[in-house]
Chains A and B, each alone.
Chain A
Amino acid sequence: MIEIKDLHKSFGSHKVLKGINETVDESEVLCIIGPSGSGKSTMLRCINHLEEPTSGEIYIDGELITDKNINEVRKRMGMVFQSFNLFPHKTVLENITIAPMNVKGVSQEEAEKKAMELLARVGLEDKASEYPKSLSGGQQQRVAIARALAMDPEVMLFDEPTSALDPEMVGEVLSVMKDLAKEGLAMIVVTHEMGFAKEVADKVIFMDDGVIVEEGTPEQVIDDPQQPRTKDFLSKVLSV
């Protein structure tokens, strides 16, 4: 469904991605792990062109993603950010309905009905008329997930969705994500949550210094890493 071919990305002379090849199939969950600065987030952001790839190709359902079709393609990809990025001047309900109504032309009634269903799914139907600032971080992130789902995406991109949360709120967000994975939604998740990766991922890739160092099932990569860099990273992460 998503195919990445020889993706390179540089910021000035700084090479962040040095040739990434990867595929994600329908209803597959891919977790990307690795140290900060390894290019995980950049790779994710290249998929929906929030970062313009320097070279290489990305396909969705066999269709090459370009500047021309990017708005179309983005309707099919939901994205969840580390810092939530809810629209502070809109209520929770409006945050969820604004894109379906304006981008897809869905009627207000229909959009609101769908939004309430999604809010129920993330356990926040009682917050519909609140503004984002009155919500906790975990609640905001769940609204952000509902907002992305409102566009009926084929794949969801998660960029460290729990890294900005207080520890006690991580669980509620991960549990929503687990439900999505169970329902068979394709997901690409940049995360430091090894427990989540182990439980939910079909495939894990370990990135370091702009390349994929190791990839495989969670059992292979997390429990039995072969590469010294993977072993070193995991020993530091898992020992805490």
Chain B
Amino acid sequence: MAMYWKGFLIACQGIPATVAVSLIAVIIGAIIGLFLALLRLANNTVLRTIAKIYIDVVRGTPMVVQAFIFAYGIPQLLQANNVEFRWDNLVIPAVIVCGLNSAAYMAEIVRSGIQAVDKGQMEAARSLGMSKSMAMRLIIIPQAVKVILPAVGNEFVTLIKETSVLSFVGVVEVMRRGALWNAATFETFPAYIGVALVYMLLTIPLSKIIGHVEGKMRHEEAA
């Protein structure tokens, strides 16, 4: 039993890294995702296609592969071209990969949120003389944000779990802490049970909060 407790405590040491990467990534993802969603809904075919390709490429490849490309592939490519480059800290490419990855998923969430806003809202805004971008900013996006908040929360939960693949590129987060302790002690089962418990500790309360907010919003909607 003591070993399980030890394993749990070891995994807990990874919480700051896991939470920091997830949190920064979800913010980057939301900003770029909003931008991508607007491109996806643009009238210009070239802009729409660029966004679509980005989303397809990111969603069509595993994040662990993307992580290896960013963490090791890009420095190697630059060095081969005589550019002196290495990541000061592997957390940096980790955050970038998670953020860019999350942006692709977020883009689809935002797009569905924007499309869920009644068509009459855009028409009313335009009929008052607003440009399309002003109508988006003042009328459509504020309403879409409310609609997608639960989905964005769920994306955050997913991202927390997904960051475990960053252990493969050497980021010392929850999963990596467990793996290192396992390598040192061969307490394999307690190590990974500890890791699993820590992820649950992070994700389950978060899911509960999202569910609560969602329920409250639905209640307001009905009122």
Contact = CB atoms under 8 A, between A and B. Distances in A.
Q: Do A and B bind each other?
A: yes
B143 interface: yes
A98 interface: yes
A85 B128 contact: no
A49 B129 CA distance: 11
Nearest to B120: A85
A78 B118 CA distance: 20
- What's the dominant secondary structure at chain B's contact region? helix
Given A81-B120, A81-B124, A88 B129 contact: no
B144 to A, nearest CB: 10
Contacts of B129: 71-72, 74-75, 99, 103-104, 151
Interface string B128-151: 111100100011001100100000
A89 B120 contact: no
Interface in B75-89: none
Interface residues on A, range: 20 to 34
Contacts of A89: 142-143, 146
A31 B125 CA distance: 24
Contacts of A75: 128-129
Interface in A94-123: 98-99, 102-104
Interface centre among B127, B134, B143 (most CB of A within 10 A): B127
B123 interface: yes
A230 interface: no
Interface string A62-75: 00000000011011
B218 interface: no
Given A50-B123, A102-B138, A85 B118 contact: yes
B6 interface: no
Contacts of A162: none
B123 to A, nearest CB: 5
A104 B129 CA distance: 9
Contacts of B127: 48, 50, 74, 77-79, 148
A72 B129 CA distance: 7
A85 B121 contact: yes
Most central of A71, A72, A86 by chain B CB within 10 Å: A71
Nearest to A51: B123
Centre residue among A48, A78, A102 by max chain B CB count within 10 A: A102
B121 A50 contact: no
Interface string A140-159: 00001001100100000000
Nearest to A100: B128
Contacts of A77: 127
Contacts of A78: 127
With most chain A CB atoms within 10 A of its CB, the pick from B128, B142, B143, B146 is: B128
A85 B124 contact: yes
Contact of B134 (A102, A133, A147): A102
Contacts of B138: 98, 102
A151 B128 contact: yes
B126 interface: yes
Contacts of B146: 89
A59 interface: no
A83 interface: yes
Nearest to A45: B123
Contacts of A74: 126-129
A87 interface: yes
Contact of B139 (A72, A87, A144): A87
Nearest to A150: B128
Interface string B19-35: 00000000000000000
9 contacts: A74-B127, A85-B120, A99-B125, A99-B128, A102-B130, A102-B134, A103-B130, A104-B129, A144-B124
Interface of B: 118, 120-121, 123-131, 134, 138-139, 142-143, 146, 223
